[in-house]
A and B are shown apart, each in its own frame.
Chain A
Amino acid sequence: MNNNSAKAGFIRILVTMLLSLGIGALFIVGIGENPIDAYVALFKGAFNGKLRLGTTLAGFTPLLLSSVAFAVAAKAGAFNVGLEGQIFLGGIAAAYIGINWTFLPKPILFVACFAGAAVVGAIWGFIPAALKAYYNVSEVCTTILMNTVALYITSYLVSGPMSAGTANAQSHPVTVTLHQFMKPSSANLGIVIAIILVLLVIFMLYKTTWGYKIRTVGTNPDHADFVGINSKKVFIGSMMLSGALCGIAGCIEVLGVHGYFLNNFATGLGSNGMLAALIVKNNVVATPFMAFFLAVLKAGAMGMQQSTGVPKALVDTITAVFIIIATMETLIQFKEKAKKKAETEKKEG
């Protein structure tokens, strides 16, 4: 039963994927190019060579954290559109600590950056969660609004008090950085941290009492309260965890990729992470794979544009089509059901 539904889910995603690649192929043919060449170039663009693979991995890291962050909140029934704001604020907190707390020994400063980012991200998750839990204010709207607020806060800080005084709005460089490998790409040790965190989250969700409570609240809050689980607290807790993960993603971007806080650096990271989770219906085990797939598409697009005449915007189009189809819950199931119905009718007839 469980296996079957997992299998059906997998097939559904596969069909969706093929469908969107098919629609993409039509576009490519439309502009007079060969779709197979384009897709091969896309694949090569993501994996072929140190720089390309490294770029793919660097792009994957924040997506991995933000997508799992979205899924964790969703497990408790929250729709955290605020990933992006949490990433921004986590990033700025890490930058502030990394620049100013130089009195700390390096290893401790390093930890402090991550802790600070996580705390600030968690606070940014707490606000909409508490408003929802106690006043029933839709967390979807508050988080959308709070993204922009976060963007302005960071943009103020890096163009004002924390500005490095360069033409681009950015902060001074941080004094601790994550080791980069596969240079000249910006892949860095952050990916290891991200993977460990994600594994911990998966472990937490399925092996600990916290995870049990989060899943209970997300699937049946009435039952949760009935058996003595405080559904409001759990809801808020999972949003804070989600915010903390995003904060850490911001920290990794600052310490690992840029080395300073760059204005607007996280634009799009939140929505992509959210979409990766949505496509697989917040299955935390599948989410990282979907995040990886999206990262590959994004990174490969550049290579495709360079070696064929297909613009990289096409890949974004395909991704968008993919997502739109995936959100239509009953589209593909409906077809399966209709088929089943037809089959049983045939048998009876």
Chain B
Amino acid sequence: MGAIIENLDKIINVSLIYATFRSATPIIFAALCAAITQQANILNVGTEGIMLVGAFTAVAVSYFTGSWVVGVAAAMLAGVLIAMIIGIGHIKYGADNCAIGMGVNMLALAITKFLLNVVFGMNGSFSSPEIDPIPRVKLEFLSEVPILGEIFCNWSIAEWFVIILIIALQFLFYKTVWGLRLRAVGQFPEAAKTAGINVNKIKYQAVAFAGMIGGLAGAHLSLGYSTQFVENMTSNRGFMGVAAMYFGGANPVFTSLGCLLFGFADSVGARLQAYGIPSQFVLMMPYIVTIAVLSVSMAVKLSANKKRQSSLN
């Protein structure tokens, strides 16, 4: 405890704000990927795998073409391909979401290892100065402003983009025809069907779109957050994304807030560790909070249902 109080000003300070957002960004991308399919009632356990394949593809293509744009585009395409394994398996062949998701995660881990080996002849990780990273946006005019400068002046393009993406998805889900149909398909497919909507088509579209975002999540991790590919570099960020998606009930804004919780825990954890203070309790808090949020919301729903049925109280 003493160490915490001693170093409190170094643990909690202005730079923690950007640090939190920086660690949260990959998780936000992952969570949005999970949120899209969740809106169609497909639990995307495979987020982790989609992301990992995206990360590898981005590095590989950026390395060979020397263009981060092409790298990111390729990662998104790869994400779609991987996601479609889940889509086809689940929608067409009745695979259990959770099972096929775990299968895809395993496949992603194995195939990226394999390709790392075969394509680059490397074990464990690959980095090279020839990888073209996603550029950062330097806001020179802010760099002199005390607090804002520290927070905003050096973001990666992907970090700015994620904010646009959150707003865009919020708009897409709740203001557009496709979003309305997507939500209807997820919540009550029979109702959507009787309204003349092609349920499976919407589901496939959601899965493909989620694949794009998942690929992007990976590309950000390997070209923005860092500039390298490391085996299993997603290290559970996909699952954190799924957890945050649950936390926020698949609403993009609330889901992202959940991700900030994870990002906050992550960056505080890293700082604690730097001062030799065990960080694990901070790191596990978001998970426990998510379980608590889930349980309380379900319990409330259940008792509301009971009340509605009974006429006597």
Contact = CB atoms under 8 A, between A and B. Distances in A.
Direct contact of A and B (CB under 8 A): yes
A144 B98 CA distance: 10
Given A79-B98, A146-B287, A328-B93, 7 more contacts: A131-B298, A136-B302, A140-B43, A141-B246, A145-B287, A149-B288, A330-B94
16 contacts: A131-B295, A135-B299, A137-B298, A142-B294, A144-B239, A271-B105, A275-B102, A311-B113, A313-B114, A316-B113, A320-B110, A324-B100, A327-B103, A328-B100, A329-B93, A331-B93
A72 to B, nearest CB: 17
Given A141-B243, A327-B96, A152 B110 contact: no
B242 interface: yes
Interface residues of B, number: 45
Contacts of A315: 110
Contacts of A313: 110-111, 113-114, 116-117
Contacts of B294: 137-138, 141-142
Contacts of A146: 287, 291
A329 B94 contact: yes
Contact of A328 (B89, B98, B284): B89
B291 A140 contact: no
Contacts of B94: 328-330
B95 interface: yes
Interface of B: 43, 45, 85, 89, 92-96, 98-100, 102-107, 109-111, 113-114, 116-118, 236, 239, 242-243, 246, 278, 280-281, 283-284, 287-288, 290-291, 294-295, 298-299, 302
A156 interface: yes
Interface of A: 27, 31, 79, 81, 131, 135-138, 140-142, 144-146, 148-149, 152-153, 155-156, 159-160, 271, 274-275, 278, 311, 313-317, 319-321, 323-324, 327-331, 334
Nearest to B105: A271
Contacts of A316: 106, 109-110, 113-114
Contact of A81 (B98, B109, B236): B98
The 4 closest A-B pairs by CB, nearest first: A316-B110, A320-B107, A328-B93, A313-B113
A149 B289 CA distance: 11
A138 B291 CA distance: 10
A275 B281 contact: no
Contacts of B246: 141
A328 B295 contact: no
A275 B96 CA distance: 12
Contacts of A271: 102, 105-106
B106 A275 contact: yes
